Amino acid sequence: MRKSKAPASRREEIQKIYQCCALGKTTLPACALLRFLHKEQMEIRTNEETAESLIDRYEIEETARESRCMTFEGFFRYMESKDCCVFNQAHTSVYQNMDQPLTSYFISSSHNTYLTGDQLVGKSHLDAYVCALRKGCRCLEIDCWDGPDMEPVVYHGYTLTTKILFKDVVTTVEQHAFEVSAYPVILSLENHCSQEQQEVMAQYLISILGDKLLRTPLDHPTTGDFPSPNDLKYKILIKNKKLRPQIKTDDTTGLEESEDEEEDEEDEDQQTKAKFWSPRKAGSKKKKKKVVVAEALSNLVVYTTSVKFISFSYSKDNQNSYENTSMAEKKARKLVKVSGPDFVKHNQKFLTRIYPAGSRTSSSNYNPQEFWNIGSQLVALNFQSLGLAMDLNDGRFQDNGGCGYVLKPAVLMSSQRSFDPSSSQHVKPKHLLLKVISGSNLPVPRSGKGLDPFVRVEIHGIASDTRRKSTHTVKNNSLSPHWDSDMNFNISVPELCLIRFCVRDQTGLLSSDFVGQYMLPFSSLKKGYRWVPLRSRDGCSLDPASLFVFVWYS
């Protein structure tokens, strides 16, 4: 139960609801509470036993409890509890099928995980890995370069970002990998090291990670070629290029290297950096030294082999299930535009990692929703950069117990029907009504001036579903603003949608400041009278700040 004390107006709103349910009586019997749960809260599976358990949990007056009734105080406690949160509390635990292949899940993924600031002069820090893992991140990036004394280092190459030791990164991952989730961690290596230092990397991965490191294919994965999150519990996978056996010639066999999937994008990335740091002209082409993967490191790559993306048809005919591709946002966006349904089909079979453009030197993020819409699993973001993109990521991965793996909706996995995110194909859209009733204990600006709050509700999904609506502004009231504002939305693909409640302070005719927000998947939205917990820009709870809303959809 929330410990916060709601302002008088919130109590008045709940008092009205209580009086309607109690039909003039001083207490609410279990049968009337059950009627409220069915009719207003749309919790149709509840029975009298449920109602009585709520009385036991929230009613503190003994005589009422004994007579299986609820006083207003008990009802108020219930209405302010987690049981009445807008986020379905059943989704705070892992509830989805975790026996599908890894390709069937959205996987919380980080880009340049080591950075705490921008891409040019920002600090690299081990804490960045700890923070990402504690947020449920399951795919971490490690940029590896040759360091002095045969010690590989991690930093953003050709920039002034600070350096940390590769062995320290691996130690940090080993310590924190499974703190919040038992499901597999993928270490995505951007490998620029010489073969000698790659040998050192391999030794560290083996000696530090021990049994957690997946070194050989599983004997009997649940799902055939590609294992599931359940198969890979408490395992760390290495994503890197891999050597493959060469065709036998003249009675000799050798090993040939798989092509680098990020070579083109890395060239763009290095040219961006050259504009800032290189004495040579940014446009000048210098042949990049090709990194040859060392056999010891290659041997540690099992299910996540990096290969270059050529085309969807080439992948269909030539790519193995355990091979994955990476591409920068611009290339991915172009492919979405030209052949969205093919991209969806591709992502049914293969892992795809999308990462921010090299030109995002300030560590800004793209909108991840556009790539979830085509089923890309590893939509990598700069976790250190606050704002809408990370709010979306937090909202998406709050689902399924915050374990970092969320099952992709059936619309993205159907083999019978192709899905095009650029057109709304669902004949019968869902109708969503959101009534934003009031706010409570909103944080005031540091300046101490009064708050003029309004609420903006945003729907994030396929392009035709993406929209936003706002309440009117309430003048100078942070304690208990009252809007009573109805908002109606028609949503064609609700299973891909995220809903964002954003409270803003009207500072001018066309200007406003962020106050607090909350993001959740449509599939986790509870019907009925609900409270919305607000979060700060960095995702921390602003309790007791909240909104009071009514939700209905059909």
**Residue located via tokens 């890395």:** 266
Task: Establish whether the linkage from the previous residue to 521 is cis, with ω within 30° of 0.
Answer: no
Q: What does the DSSP 8-state code read for residue 207?
A: H
Q: How far apart are CA 469 and CA 51, in angstroms?
A: 36
164: amino acid identity, one letter:
I
Residues 404-429: b if buried by 16+ CB within 10 A, e if exposed: bbbbbbebbbeeeeebbbeebeeeee
Q: How far apart are CA 123 and CA 362, in angstroms?
A: 13
**Residue located via tokens 């706002």:** 470
| Phi, psi for 438 (deg, rounded to 5) | -160, 175
Query: Of 57, 87, 89, whose CA–CA distance to 74 is shortest?
Result: 57
Query: Of 538, 363, 532, 520, whose CA–CA distance to 441 is shortest?
Result: 532
Active-site residue numbers? 111, 156
Q: What does the DSSP 8-state code read for residue 282?
A: T
**C-beta atoms surrounding 547 within 10 Å:** 25
> Cα angle at 32 between 29 and 35, to 5 degrees?
150
Task: Note whether 237 and 214 are within 8 A (CB).
Answer: yes
Residues 91-100: b if buried by 16+ CB within 10 A, e if exposed: bbebebebeb
